[in-house]
Amino acid sequence: MTTAIHFGAGNIGRGFIGKLLADSGIEVTFADVNQQLINELQNRHSYPVHIVGSEVRTETVTGVNAVDATRPELLELLADADLVTTAVGPTVLTLIAKTLATGLQLRFERLNHQPLNIVACENQVRGTSFLKAEVLKHLPGQYQAELERCVGFVDSAVDRIVPPSTDASDPLAVTVETFSEWIVDQTQFKGDIPDIKGMEPTDNLMAFVERKLFTLNTGHIITAYLGALAGYRTIGEAITDPEIRAQVKAAMQESGAVLVKRYGFDQDQHQAYIEKILGRFANPYLVDEIDRVGRQPIRKLGTDDRLVKPLLGTLEYGIDNTNLLKGIAAAFFYKNDADPQAVELQHMLAHQGLRVTLAHYTGLDPDSAVAGQIEELYHRLNRHFA
């Protein structure tokens, strides 16, 4: 039987990737540091997934196990595994890289030359390539040629809304939407591509990475930041506000025009994709809090992330970008005392002003016309919501 180690037993790990693996007959062991989740998975070897869409149903994932990610047992499993996946968040990839490197070293010392494929399933462009670079920092030089021969680092694009579970009766229960998409770069596998229902191989990954980033992620974050400004608590509440919905849809159409230019997507099909995503945001069964979506604003304002990257595309192709600019301006109003990035952003904004803060976190020229437009929209939003 194919064996997989999945780093991250959180909601996305259990509700999305872990479920697809287990449903495909793969023996899944979750690696995590949350002792409650580890104990529950070790005792029960199963958990319920509530799938909510036009209808609501519950499916049970079975045949799973868990291991403490800090224990030597994980290294033993890595030495023999066929597949490694992650859903830990981009910042944690650097933390698990050393563990992966140690496990790979043990694998090579035991002369296990069987192909191993590693897939980071994160909201990060080429996240697996980033993970590979981190692993190489910890892997002794004599093993690096073996890694190139036997280990595939497979980049992917993932899309499924997985909010915090509302089932307080079961710590393992997870709630997910019906829609899911997991696209992998088929050119990066070593050996055979595993047969996993719901995993779609492609030789043009970046088209799908940017389609998701520029549509789902862009629309999601602008809904969150405009919704926070308007005093809403959830994405569902915000997107049912006609003014916010219109602005979010327009921003997605601006970023979508970049995709049509860059990758030749069919315009009508992409418009239908936008409408599908707007419907997902409005799913009444998904209680998706704005603070979950809006957190880590510094990362989300990065040059290669969901706000600035599509903006740069509009500048490249001469496409209207008014609503993308408004989404960026709205990000600078986001406040969340429990989020260190939000606190840092507000601190710099208060002491350095908008243009310096904008340039620092986005890489945009503070003296550019686009920075001036963002500043004007920032003041306009401030007056509107004052």
Q: Is 8 annotated as a binding residue?
A: yes
Q: Is 219 annotated as a binding residue?
A: no
Q: Is 15 annotated as a binding residue?
A: yes
Alpha-helical runs (H) found in the chain: 11-12, 18-23, 35-44, 72-80, 90-109, 127-138, 144-150, 205-212, 218-229, 235-239, 242-263, 267-281, 290-294, 297-300, 308-317, 322-331, 340-352, 354-362, 369-385
Q: Is 38 annotated as a binding residue?
A: no
Report how far residue 338's alpha carbon sits from residue 289's, in angstroms, rounded to the nearest whole number.
14
Cα 351 to the center of its chain, rounded Å: 31
Question: E strand or H helix at 31, and its extent?
Answer: strand 27-32
Q: Is 11 annotated as a binding residue?
A: yes
Q: Is 7 annotated as a binding residue?
A: yes
Report how far residue 325's alpha carbon sits from residue 327's, in angstroms, rounded to the nearest whole number.
5
Q: Is 372 annotated as a binding residue?
A: no
Q: Of 142, 144, 296, which Cα lies nearest the Cα of 217?
A: 296
Q: Is 228 annotated as a binding residue?
A: no
Report how far residue 151's alpha carbon sits from residue 247's, in angstroms, rounded to the nearest whole number.
44
Q: Is 323 annotated as a binding residue?
A: no
- At 14, list the tokens: 């259990």
Q: Is 330 annotated as a binding residue?
A: no
- At 42, list the tokens: 């070790």
Binding-site residue ranges? 4-15
* Binding residue numbers for NAD(+): 4-15
